[in-house]
Structure 1
Amino acid sequence: MAARRTPEEKPVEHGSRRRERMRAVLVEAATRLFAAQGVDATTIDEIVDLAGVAKGTFYNYFTDRADIAVAVASAIRREFNEGVAELNEGIADPAERVSRGVRLFLYLVVRDPVRARLLSRIYEGGVDIAKSGNQHLLGDLREGVELGRIQVPSLEVALHLVVALGTAGMRHLLDKGAGPEILRGEGYAHEVATVLLQGLGLRRADIVRILARPFDASHLTLSNRGERL
């Protein structure tokens, strides 16, 4: 039987939830402003005005603009990683999982352009093999190497290839525009995935087979969230 909470514990839990909600409000406001005008062009005054809180409240949670920018980037990367994991449920081939993850990042340019633009602008540490945000991707790459599905000089080089193609692809679509074919993993998304799988050492026949499978991310929690932004 679970232990009953004492009266003293309840106010602490309530206060913690309130702090989490307020922090989330500030992060969401900063997300929108950073995406629209960049980090350097955004002031703390603008963040608190959009969040509807006093300026002093900001400093209860963050030390400065750089501090909240890190929080925003971490939150977005975490959400996107969760989306990739959800998309790849039941996919056994690690190389296919990696290609689907990159196509999802491009998909989100259409479905969640606010977060896609921000992630492409303040993607810090994306090529650092030690960063915690890269662990899921590294797991897929490592498994692919162990199974002989992925053949690369090193995991670090493979990570750099995936991150470079993913972020450059997002920026290209954000600048030039993305059509509905991206939502199906087709067009430019198909081309990026082809180059990616070639770079990871897959045979042409395997690449064709992987990319011939339907790509549908419309059921994801992350993509549905983007509709409400």
Structure 2
Amino acid sequence: MTRLNQAQRRIHQAALRLFAEKGVMQLNISDLAEEAGVARGTIYNNVETMEQLFEQVASQLSGEMHQRIALSFAGVEDPAERLSKGVRLFIRRAHDEPHWGAFLNRFALSNASMREMLYSQVTVDLLQGLQTGRYQIRQETLASVISLIAGATLGAIFMVREGIKTWRDAGAEAVELLLRALGVPAEEALRLARLDLPPLPAVD
């Protein structure tokens, strides 16, 4: 993950908020400079095009969240428990950082870096669950199952952002239904969906 200087961090944080609100094509230099609290010249020195900035922001966001999720899984071997924690960490962060959640809802399925963030760890854990017999699904359905998990996560984030569900309820219900779809018994799926959720580890 590329290390950013202070000005670049401010620009990326401002861009995240504005991309989530406006999209890529509607953002201009003046808006970005005002939101970041920097001079227009600082933007010109650090941003070639808005399209390139968007890709940088998406890649940075994806890499950072991927690292934090991986750290949160330290010592957790059960793929079902990892799924429970991973999905709910995404949903809780979307509640804690609304612009982050809005960015995910808007771009997660249309950008390669963002899809990688959603799919990569899930794919590893699904394969492990298949190999160990933890999950009762056919391997040829793997792509559909990954899409199901991503869709359920983003749908729960949307409900939280709209005030339809709390992040705890949305996360627990999504995880319970996903685990049952994967073949985990109902009582165990409910237990796993309600496990205490640790803080999301920080990364440098």
Same fold (TM over 0.5): yes
Q: 2:88 aligns with which of 85, 92, 103?
A: 103
Task: Describe how 1:74-223 pairs up with structure 2 within 5 A.
Answer: 74-125=59-110, 132-133=116-117, 134-153=119-138, 154-176=141-163, 178-179=165-166, 182=167, 185=168, 187-213=169-195, 215-217=196-198, 219-222=199-202
Task: Please give the per-residue CA displacement for 1:127-185, whole angstroms capped at 9, x wherever unaligned.
Answer: x7xx6433222111111111111233332122111111011111121123553xx3xx4
Name 1:5's counterpart in structure 2.
none
Equivalent position SS for 2:102:
helix
Residues 30-52 of structure 1: CA distance to partner in whole angstroms, max 9, x if unpaired? 01222344444332321123334
Secondary structure of 1:89's partner? coil
Amino acid at match of 2:185: R
What does residue 30 of structure 1 align with? 15
Q: Distance in 2 between matches of 1:161 and 1:104?
A: 17
When the two structures are superposed, what TM-score results if normalisation uses the length of structure 1? 0.73
Q: Unaligned regions of 5+ residues in structure 1, if any?
A: 1-15, 223-229
Structure with max Cα Rg: 1
Using the alignment, how far apart are the partners of 1:54 and 1:24 within structure 2? 14
Q: TM-score, normalised by structure 2?
A: 0.81
C-alpha distance in structure 1 between counterparts of 2:89 and 2:124, whole Å: 18
Contact kept, 8 Å, 1:76 with 1:119, in 2: the verdict is no
Secondary structure of 1:176's counterpart equals coil
Q: In the aligned structure 2, how far is the partner of 1:172 from the partner of 1:96?
A: 23
Is 1:48 the counterpart of 2:36? The answer is no
Matched residue SS, 1:119: helix
CA RMSD in angstroms comes to: 2.8
| Alignment check: 8 A CA contact 1:98 1:137 kept | yes
Q: Please give the secondary structure, in 1, of the residue aligned with 2:162.
A: helix
CA deviation after TM superposition for structure 1 residue 86, in Å: 2.9
2:48 matches 1:63: yes
Structure 2: how far apart are the matches of 1:41 and 1:22? 22
Change (3 A) 1:161 1:23: same
Aligned residues: 197
Identity %: 27
1:87 offset after TM fit, Å?
2.7
**Is contact 1:77–1:119 with CA below 8 Å preserved after alignment?**
no
Gaps of 5+ in 2: none
Task: Indicate the SS of the match to 2:134.
Answer: coil
